[in-house]
Chain A
Amino acid sequence: MPQTFADPARPGPALRAQDLHVSFGDLKVLRGVSFDLAKGEGAVLLGANGCGKSTLMRALNGLAPVASGQIWVEGQAIVGAPLRAVRAARRQMGYVFQQFNLVPQLSAHQNVLFGAMGQRPLGVLGVMNAFARAEDRERAMACLDRVGLADRATHRPAELSGGQQQRVAIARMLMQAPRVVIADEPIASLDPKAGREVLDLLWRIVEEEGLSLLCTLHQLDLAEEYGRRLIGMKAGRIVLDAATGSVERAELDALYTGAARVDAAPEGVAA
């Protein structure tokens, strides 16, 4: 098992959430979520559909509005911070989505180049294939090569399989060169074989680059196999947070029984 990566120049956790509350209208989705993700740590977030996992992921990236609480990405607070600071924090954070979210009209290579969009002063102009710097074009190709898809550089997403599209999305995340990666059910729309390939690739890259990873999964077996730490959510709260070996299967199964959804469990009554 690889050692936890720690850079003495950057003390503190890679990601810290403190008493996060998020509501959509009257529905309280996150009801006081706190956790730290250490540098180089790979954790799996578990929970039933509708328990608030995706909302937590979106909040960590500043995509969902936070009612109260605070988030630090590599020490940078983002709740209530000016947009410029939020963008700086987002640049540190790669995001892998369930639906891949590639731009369907553009080639795999162009999609990977877009990973650097937040880092170039001219934004999209700096990462358009026609105008991008030679190093960036070269690096995007290297990222594609690393996920084993250099030969598909000119293909559009629709010409690739689901697993290949997710690998392109991982190459885009690599291009971004983040410190933290959050992956929101990265294999939920893939078949078991492709899903395992994508997880292998994601975990290998995260370990090789010394990144921190928070990944939501639905398969308990895979969660125990890949994650060294399991975080369990139920009805908008974290109800389980422990090293993988120390968790009983019954505790994991309990995450999916009873009032697990935020819309099934009114505030205060939850599990």
Chain B
Amino acid sequence: MSRPDLPPRFRAPSALAWVLMVGFAAFFIQGLYGADVSLDRLIRGATNLVRFVSLAIPPDFARWETIGWAMLETMNIAIVGVTFGCLLSVPLALLAARNTSPNAVVRVIARQLIAIARTIPDLIWALIFVVAVGLGPLAGILAIILDTIGFAARFYSERFEEVQKGPSEALTSTGAGRLSVIAGAILPESFASMTATSLYSVEKAIRSAVTLGLVGAGGIGVELSTAMRLFQYDQAAAIILVVLVAVIGFEHLSSSIRKRII
């Protein structure tokens, strides 16, 4: 009996792979064409960018007081929104996790709610809440709450599902009720991971809260969009610098807290 043939170096892609590749290529070329990219436009864009930078330097901190208060409002929106978001995420995540949910129907509903909160971008939430409660920080807070739930509740529930079964079973075997077992074993085991997720939520919320102002939901974004529209690029640059410092500062703070608890 002769030896089987050497395996080929390449295998012909399947029909489905061909369809996907051709479809992707078509979509990509159409997109490039639609964006109307030309050398002329790229050169003009670069000149405009240089003009913007030259106008933005040096940054104008004359309105530092207003900028400072607006940045504080942004931080307030982020912190208040994340706090409520994380608190609401805990019960929602418990309902959504396989090992803590009372039944399959509740679990599917909770998962859908979390998925909806996550799928709709924070700016759209802000637009919706500006319509509902008017311009200002409240709309921003509500948008951050929803955005945080979409993120934190999902990670909390995944963590709950990873918790080892032993300690919960041991508490169940003493005759304890379900809520007691959750609070006595599953929450303590998930605590470190939940804190890390919550801290990351704050970082994410500060970044979101900056942009929420662009649609009128309060905070420093309102100042930024005004400065840009009035071509006061030096003031805009000052605002962007303040945002940069605040975001980087908090990221350092939160990563040092994370290192301590994990």
Q: Is the CB of B184 within 8 A of A114?
A: yes
A190 CB–B CB distance under 8 Å: no
Task: From B94-102, B171-179, B232-240, give the one contacting chain A.
Answer: B171-179
Q: Which residues of B contact A88 (CB under 8 A)?
A: 175
Q: Is the CB of A117 within 8 A of B180?
A: yes
Q: Is the CB of B174 within 8 A of A124?
A: no
Q: Which residues of B contact A99 (CB under 8 A)?
A: 166
B162 CB–A CB distance under 8 Å: no
Q: Is the CB of A118 within 8 A of B167?
A: no
- Selected from B167, B173, B192, the residue in CB contact (under 8 A) with A102 is B167
Max count, chain B CB within 10 A of own CB: residue among A61, A101, A102: A101
Contact with A along B138-172 (1 / 0, CB 8 A): 00000000000000000000000000001101111
Interface of chain A residues 62 through 108 with chain B (CB within 8 A): 63, 87-91, 93-95, 97, 99-106
Q: How far is the CB of B195 from chain A (nearest CB, A)?
A: 12
Q: How many residues of B contact A (CB 8 A)?
A: 21
Q: Is the CB of A117 within 8 A of B166?
A: no
A212 CB–B CB distance under 8 Å: no
Chain B residue with the shortest CB-CB distance to A91: B175
- Selected from A61, A103, A104, A124, the residue in CB contact (under 8 A) with B173 is A61
- Selected from B176, B188, B191, B192, the residue in CB contact (under 8 A) with A117 is B176
B185 CB–A CB distance under 8 Å: yes
Known A103-B167, A124-B180; contact A87-B175, beta-carbon cutoff 8 A:
yes
Known A91-B175, A114-B171; contact A123-B180, beta-carbon cutoff 8 A:
yes
Known A61-B173, A118-B174; contact A103-B188, beta-carbon cutoff 8 A:
yes
Q: Which residues of A contact B176 (CB under 8 A)?
A: 87, 114, 117-118, 123-124
Q: Is the CB of B174 within 8 A of A123?
A: no
Q: Is the CB of B173 within 8 A of A105?
A: no
Q: Is the CB of B172 within 8 A of A114?
A: no
Q: Which residues of A contact B185 (CB under 8 A)?
A: 103
Interface of chain A residues 21 through 56 with chain B (CB within 8 A): none
- Selected from B171, B175, B188, the residue in CB contact (under 8 A) with A105 is B188
Q: Is the CB of A119 within 8 A of B175?
A: yes
Q: Is the CB of B174 within 8 A of A115?
A: yes
B244 CB–A CB distance under 8 Å: no
B73 CB–A CB distance under 8 Å: no
B189 CB–A CB distance under 8 Å: yes
B22 CB–A CB distance under 8 Å: no
B245 CB–A CB distance under 8 Å: no
Q: How far is the CB of B48 from chain A (nearest CB, A)?
A: 56
Q: How far is the CB of A96 from chain B (nearest CB, A)?
A: 9
Q: Which residues of B contact A164 (CB under 8 A)?
A: none
Q: Is the CB of A104 within 8 A of B189?
A: yes
Q: How far is the CB of B169 from chain A (nearest CB, A)?
A: 6
- A residues neighboring B (CB under 8 Å): 61, 63, 87-91, 93-95, 97, 99-106, 114-119, 123-124, 127, 169, 172, 176
